Chain A
Amino acid sequence: DGGITQSPKYLFRKEGQNVTLSCEQNLNHDAMYWYRQDPGQGLRLIYYSQIVNDFQKGDIAEGYSVSREKKESFPLTVTSAQKNPTAFYLCASSMGSGGAGNTEAFFGQGTRLTVV
């Protein structure tokens, strides 16, 4: 079945450690996104990529890094510079820009990161 896979579902890390969240899609989508979700704040965009080997900062990119070496994969690294990393992280993909029919985003099941 086509979809987006995020792993792991739960992740615990010590303060000061970098951690990488995995996101893989087999939908052949060009665009991929990382969102952070906190209670009462909706989803905030961290980074997005519209094509392989290219990505742009979203609204809250500080303390995060990404790579897009393959179309299927868009891993997110939460660095020690992120002041408050504990959150629910959602990865999404879409066909990308280029018309109304391509705007729908498909989401993974999320990774809940807890930093202690």
Chain B
Amino acid sequence: AQSVTQLGSHVSVSEGALVLLRCNYSSSVPPYLFWYVQYPNQGLQLLLKYTTGATLVKGINGFEAEFKKSETSFHLTKPSAHMSDAAEYFCAVTTSSNDYKLSFGAGTTVTVRA
């Protein structure tokens, strides 16, 4: 079985500060990992994904994440927060052993202080 744990349901950062959202996964086979962003009352938009190859993945809006197999982690970072980054962020995992269905973490809500 596969699962995802997001550490911290709420994160508050100052504008211009580093954004760090933590995600740990559990999987018995090689995982494919994703970060999605959701704005209020909207669907989810893909920020970035790791499938194979380079472990440092760059996404949209200046976000990046690093796949660390030894730590079973896929933390999301952005060097400098912008007010428009205020949203909810979801980490997700899928594998070949689960029909490629996505399993989501509980989400982390980011607020950005001026």
Whether the Cβ atoms of A107 and B43 lie closer than 8 Å is yes
Number of interface residues of B (CB under 8 A): 25
**Told that A6-B43, A42-B105, A103-B94 touch, could you supply 11 new A-B pairs with CB distance under 8 A?**
A4-B43, A33-B101, A43-B44, A90-B43, A90-B44, A97-B96, A101-B51, A104-B34, A104-B46, A105-B34, A108-B43
Whether the Cβ atoms of B106 and A40 lie closer than 8 Å is yes
Interface 1/0 per residue, A14-51 and B, CB below 8 Å: 00000000000000000101010000111111001010
Q: Of B94, B96, B99, which is within 8 A of A50 by CB?
A: B99
Q: Which residue of B lies closest to A101 (CB)?
A: B51
Contacts of A44 in B (CB 8 A): 104
Whether the Cβ atoms of A105 and B51 lie closer than 8 Å is no
Whether the Cβ atoms of A100 and B42 lie closer than 8 Å is no
Whether the Cβ atoms of A104 and B44 lie closer than 8 Å is no
Contacts of B44 in A (CB 8 A): 43, 90, 92, 105, 107
Compute how far the CA of A76 lies from the CA of B105 in the bound complex, rounded to whole angstroms. Answer: 23
Q: Of B41, B52, B90, which is within 8 A of A110 by CB?
A: B41
Whether the Cβ atoms of B46 and A45 lie closer than 8 Å is no
B49 at the interface (CB under 8 A from A): yes
Interface 1/0 per residue, B72-114 and A, CB below 8 Å: 0000000000000000001000101001111111110000000
B26 at the interface (CB under 8 A from A): no
Compute how far the CA of A103 lies from the CA of B46 in the bound complex, rounded to whole angstroms. Answer: 12
Given A40-B9, A104-B49: A48 touches B43 (CB 8 Å cut-off): no
